[in-house]
Amino acid sequence: MWRRVTAPQLLQTDTTDSYGMKPILIFGVEAIAGTYFSSPTNIFAPASTPARSIFDLSLLVLAVTGAIFLVVFTLLVYAVSKFRRRTDDAQEPAQVYGSNQIELAWTVIPILIVAALFMATARVIADTEKVTAPKNSIAVIAIGHQFWWEFRYPGLGVAAVNELHVPLSEPAYATPTFITLLSADTDHSFWVPRLAGKTDLIPNHPNEMWIDPHETGVFLGQCAQFCGVQHAKMLLRVYVQPRSEFDRWVEEQKQPARLSTDPSEGQRIFESTACINCHNVAGTPANGSFGPDLTHLMSRDTIAAGAAANTPANLRLWIRNPNAIKPGSLMPAMQMSDHDLDAICAYLETLR
């Protein structure tokens, strides 16, 4: 009966019900969190094993805490409604000082409950954290910057910015992605709620996490550790693609910038201003690494770490005055003439 109300995005894969709690709770959780508040960042809509095992554990925890709440709340409501003083009643009630049996009962029962919760929790910690990367996994190094994401694929020789591309992990042929988390400056946290819980990116403290997405699509997330002025617009997009599509993306990203033999005016301006101090365009003198790599800028859907769609108008606005889109961004306003601005935009739009 409960399956009839199942929101499709919540149960993409029919994995095992490890605690037997789903029939009891799925209705409430899905009805409230899944159907009523549909959200691309809902933690109760897992699409990857780490998020799925948290979801399963959370059902157990919610069931236990919900039951405790119902019992204690009922007692409270009963006490509040039953044991009121009537206005004409001047006599003191019976003075009761306590009861060792009752105290023992409400000590032992909670101990048993938290012991059970502890063991269930310890199992999920072990399941998630002891996993080692299988041979056919994708390795990614994620580096947090103020206020954007850099992704390197050491095994594939490509890089991505803000938009992480990973292959779909089929149940029959699992290709999980193992992410090493580093930071170039302050603390950040990688959080894509439908794929996994968050893990922090801390300078001098490399961390690991993994995902194995079971469905294709774009998964949204954002930085979850306050990292400075523009923490709010350090958004994160994960593109889960079928393996063939992912491989094609890798091939495209491997190419150097497709440039005409005769540099355009925009390219000359780009290469003779401060742009190249921070940005890299493979195959040209621009080899900065402080800002995002622009070699394949036009292959991305967004700019400014997801803060704006990658349209010519937004790109022009971003170069003219980054603060208009993302106040506090570390990209300086370049104070260019309209002519230079147009030329640079035209050049950037060739970087596919």
Q: Considering only residues 54-73, where is the footprint of other proteins by CB under 8 A?
A: 54, 57-58, 61-62, 64-65, 68-69, 72-73
Grouping H, G, I as helix, E, B as strand and the rest as coil, residue 142 is strand
Closest to other proteins by CB, 107 vs 337, is 107
- Is 278 one of the binding residues for other proteins (CB under 8 A)? no
Which one of 169, 230, 284, 295 is in contact with other proteins (CB under 8 A)?
Answer: 230
d(CA 348, CA 315): 9
301 binding other proteins? (CB under 8 A): no
Closest approach of Cβ 244 to other proteins, in Å? 30
Letter string b/e over residues 141-163, b meaning 16 or more CB atoms within 10 A of that residue's CB: bbbbbbbbbbbbbeebebbbbbb
Q: 304 is written with which tokens?
A: 């400014």
Residue 234 CB, shortest distance to other proteins, in Å, is 9
Give the separation between CA 233 and CA 318, rounded to whole angstroms: 14
Distance CA 198, CA 218 (A): 17
* Part of the chain binding other proteins (CB under 8 A), chosen from 103-111, 270-278, 289-297, 334-342: 103-111
Binding to other proteins, residues 6-45 (CB under 8 A): 32-33, 37-44
Could you tell me the smallest distance in angstroms from the CB atom of residue 261 to other proteins? 42
62 burial type by CB count under 10 A (0-12 exposed, 13-18 middle, 19+ buried): middle
Distance separating alpha carbons of residues 157 and 139, to the nearest angstrom: 11
Q: Give the residue, chosen from 28, 217, 228, 263, that forms a contact with other proteins under the rule CB under 8 A.
A: 228
Site for other proteins in 149-208 (CB under 8 A): 181, 185-187, 189, 191, 193, 196-200, 202-205, 207-208
Q: Residue from 133, 229, 309, 324 that binds other proteins (CB under 8 A)?
A: 229
The span from the CA of 39 to the CA of 7, in Å, is 12
